[in-house]
Amino acid sequence: MDRIVIFGAWEDWAIGNEVLILDEGWERSHAGRKQSGYPQAREHIRLVEDEGYALKTFKMVNSDARKDDRGRGPSKIAKIDENLTSRNLKRIGNQWFGISQSSHGDAILVDDTFDDLPGVDSTEIGSDGGLRQLVMRSLVKRDPRVRRKVIERAIDGCERESCVDTRRYRGFLDVHHILGVETSDRVWNCVALCPNCHREAHYSPDNDKINAELQAFAAKYAT
């Protein structure tokens, strides 16, 4: 025997091959009363998500007969289309959608939304109210006077000659150690760079060429 869950899907909530079949906001009515059918609908969603039940939907056409002039009030079914459509279930935030499995002409209706790209389900990653943790790192000791001296001399902003970024407000410019901080923490091994140029100096495919140019610039501060 086939294990199937059937949901009615409001025509007004259909977008392309997607239909909204359940929203957590539907647990209570506009008046704040609990909706008696919501727990059963939530259980049917669980059967699809956890027990492998197939999902099918039928179309429901909404009537505004029970709504006020501002469009508020309970929905009422005006008409039902008894044809069933097989769908895949997708959850986005606090809503569940049915995605059509059928074809339309030569074009297969597929779910190509950003939310279904592999590894991009933002509802399953991250956290709220993160806890602090103790992290131990080994760093090369730096002289803060070197950083201060380099930042002070960068009166025109980024010191990469091909860069036109003139911003130099507190905390904006980075101090880049051209040969690496382990080699030398001296003024003549350092340049003040905007964040973009600093990343290029470390990670660009041309970073050797960039650092050679920066080294030529900084050499004049060796005396």
Answer yes or no: do 70 and 101 share one domain.
yes
pLDDT value of position 194: 96
On whether residue 19 sits in a domain, the answer given is yes
Answer yes or no: do 52 and 112 share one domain.
yes
On whether residue 11 sits in a domain, the answer given is yes
Answer yes or no: do 118 and 39 share one domain.
yes
pLDDT value of position 121: 59
d(CA 58, CA 134): 54
Answer yes or no: do 119 and 9 share one domain.
yes
Secondary structure letter of residue 28 according to DSSP: B
On whether residue 131 sits in a domain, the answer given is no
On whether residue 74 sits in a domain, the answer given is yes
Answer yes or no: do 155 and 215 share one domain.
yes
Answer yes or no: do 194 and 164 share one domain.
yes
| Domain span including residue 48 | 4-124
Q: How far is CA 12 from CA 3, 25, 48, 54, 98, in A?
A: 28, 17, 23, 23, 14
pLDDT value of position 64: 63
Answer yes or no: do 108 and 159 share one domain.
no
Answer yes or no: do 196 and 111 share one domain.
no
- Using alpha carbons, select from 65, 107, 103, 85 the residue that is nearest to residue 4: 85
d(CA 78, CA 12): 12
pLDDT, averaged in runs of 10, over the chain (223 residues): 82 76 83 84 91 88 62 64 86 85 47 49 70 77 93 95 93 95 93 96 93 93 76
pLDDT value of position 163: 95
Number of domains in the chain: 2
On whether residue 65 sits in a domain, the answer given is yes
Answer yes or no: do 118 and 172 share one domain.
no
Answer yes or no: do 116 and 154 share one domain.
no
Answer yes or no: do 91 and 188 share one domain.
no
On whether residue 129 sits in a domain, the answer given is no
Answer yes or no: do 12 and 109 share one domain.
yes
On whether residue 136 sits in a domain, the answer given is no
pLDDT value of position 122: 63
Given a contact cutoff of 8 angstroms between Cβ atoms, the answer to whether 76 and 63 are in contact is yes
